[in-house]
Amino acid sequence: MKQIKQHRLIARFAVENSDNFEVITIFDDEIQREKLDKQNPTLMSISPKYTTATWFERKIKDDFGIKIEGSYDNRPLVHHERFPTLNPLRKDFQDRSLKFDDFTPYKYEVVKGEGVFEVAVGPVHAGIIEPGHFQFSQEGERILHLDIRHFYTYRGIEKSLENTSLLEAREMIERISGNESIAYQLAWFDIVLQASGVEYDEKLKKYHCLLLELERVIDHLTDLGFIPNDAGFGAALSFASQLSEDTRVFLKELCGHRFGFGSVGFEVKEYDKDRILDFLNVLEEKVRWFEDWIVDIPSVWSRFDTTGTLNKQKAKKYGVLGVVARASGKRVDTRDNLFYKKHGFVLQNETVGDVASRFKLRIKEIYNSMRLIKNFIDEPSMVKKPVKFCDGEYMSFVESSIGELFVYVKLKDGVIDRFYARDPSFINWQALYLMMKKDIIADFPLINKSCDLSYAGSDL
């Protein structure tokens, strides 16, 4: 029997036009559009076929007041217990602030049964971290179910960017998620070039990709410290954090900011090629020492192996992205193209899909990123800063350290009419509970950190 290929769902979001609402659904090989009547907007859910459509549709309902039919989960997503009864992305909403409404309890998904109890973790955590709530159903130490709730810091980014120019929008876009600043800037820059018709100079592109790979190295190094730390080996955190900090300081030396803010622009800043090569050679030597060190610690791998497993079938069903996908044997990486391959890109994979796989994959990707950075080194270059942008719809895809991020911009009368960003975490958060099914609650921090998902990136 011939197997029918299922599209990969990338994003599903709404746009308000003068006479209708339009729901745009982006798949890996097609775009679908549905126009809805403004008086009684109703949308049929695709969540029975595409599981991760659930959060997209809940967000559409909260943002625009569009009724969703046929979904198994119609709870609010970004509307929390005292969120006012309004839809902030409608054009007629112009208030500068929100007034709290009466408290409405949120109904968590929990497992019932004899001996089953609930454990609430968050939304406030014992660390410098955005708010996020995790509601566990437990039988002793064993996790039966996990219900995740985020979106506590509704920042109004989509609304705030309306009626701004593309060039003005960069400072907000680059701050959507701190560990993906350069990735978001690259998505913004791609849309700037599309809307202006300016060609992407290859030397400038190489410089931007060099910065992107350096950001990936920083984030992966951070994770390589935190993952063993959550398995009880704090020395790894100290060592890897030093490597990560050294690389972040080097990023500032290269582009002027620790997080790369303002680094993706229309010209290549001058840099010392030999300094980059020397830094990378020293870093690679230290990473290889770190790898040899960790590999020889059985107690760490006893916690890593078979913990938090996401098999390839479930990874495909949920359309997961980035390291989470590739550690489960799924070949998905926006960098898998001719430009990147020409400069030494090799798509890295593991197959088991557990914490160990995600840890080992990050090490592989660091080596590949360092090789890419060396090959991206080139002469200074620039493109002319555009002054005019054509109205229309523009989309961009960039492989951040977490996975493929997607940005959509609709320009009307020369300014942004609709801005939408789908962080890879928005997809991967929905699959996290699948990794908990056979593990104990003490493994939750370890599994969660091995995925390195962004709270801020999802909470626009």
Contact of 344 with 377, CB cutoff 8 Å: no
For residue 281, give every residue at least 6 positions away whose Cβ sits within 8 Å of its Cβ, in sequence order, or none: none
- CA 299 to CA 85: how far, in whole Å? 52
Predicted local confidence at residue 19, as pLDDT: 93
CA 286 to chain centre: 28
Report the DSSP beta bridge partners of residue 405: 398
Q: List Cα–Cα distances, 103 to 67, 110, 118, 144, 351, in angstroms.
A: 22, 21, 22, 29, 46
Q: How many residues are given for the chain?
A: 460
Instruction: Give the pLDDT of the chain (460 residues) as one tens digit per residue.
Output: 444 456 899 999 999 999 999 999 999 999 999 999 999 999 999 999 999 999 999 999 999 999 999 999 999 999 999 998 899 999 999 887 788 899 999 999 999 999 999 999 989 987 778 899 999 999 999 999 999 999 999 899 999 999 999 999 999 999 999 999 999 999 999 999 999 999 999 999 999 999 999 999 999 999 999 999 999 999 999 999 999 999 999 999 999 999 999 999 998 878 899 999 999 999 999 999 999 999 999 999 999 999 999 999 999 999 999 999 999 999 999 999 999 999 999 999 999 999 999 999 999 999 999 999 999 999 877 788 888 999 999 999 999 999 999 999 999 999 999 999 999 999 999 999 999 988 999 999 999 999 999 999 999 9
Q: Which residues of 299-308 are buried (b: 16+ CB within 10 A; e: fewer)?
A: ebbebbeebb
Q: Which two tokens stand for residue 405?
A: 């991020």
User: What residue ranges of the chain are covered by domains with CATH 1.10.645.10?
Assistant: 159-451
424 upstream amide cis, omega within 30 of 0: no
Q: List Cα–Cα distances, 402 to 178, 184, 220, 413, 455, in angstroms.
A: 12, 12, 9, 34, 12
> Hey, CA dihedral for 322, 327, 332, 334, is it positive or negative?
positive
Predicted local confidence at residue 3, as pLDDT: 47
DSSP conformation letters of 255-273:
HSSTT-TT-SSSBPPP--H
Second-level CATH architecture of 159-451: Orthogonal Bundle (1.10)
Contact of 352 with 309, CB cutoff 8 Å: yes
- Longest CA–CA separation in the chain, Å: 68
Report the DSSP beta bridge partners of residue 442: none
Predicted local confidence at residue 411, as pLDDT: 98
Report the DSSP beta bridge partners of residue 26: 11, 31
DSSP state of 318: H
Contact of 460 with 436, CB cutoff 8 Å: no
Identify the three-state secondary structure at position 297.
coil
Contact of 41 with 53, CB cutoff 8 Å: no
Q: What is the CA radius of gyration of the chain?
A: 22
Predicted local confidence at residue 438, as pLDDT: 84
Residue 155: how many other CB atoms lie within 10 Å: 14
What's this model's pTM, rounded to 2 decimal places? 0.95
CA torsion, ordered 432, 436, 442, 448, to nearest 10 deg: -20
- CA 336 to CA 316: how far, in whole Å? 18
Predicted local confidence at residue 311, as pLDDT: 96
Predicted local confidence at residue 99, as pLDDT: 86
Q: List Cα–Cα distances, 315 to 72, 138, 209, 431, in angstroms.
A: 21, 24, 27, 8
The runs of H, that is alpha helices, within 12-65 are 53-64
- CA 60 to CA 68: how far, in whole Å? 9
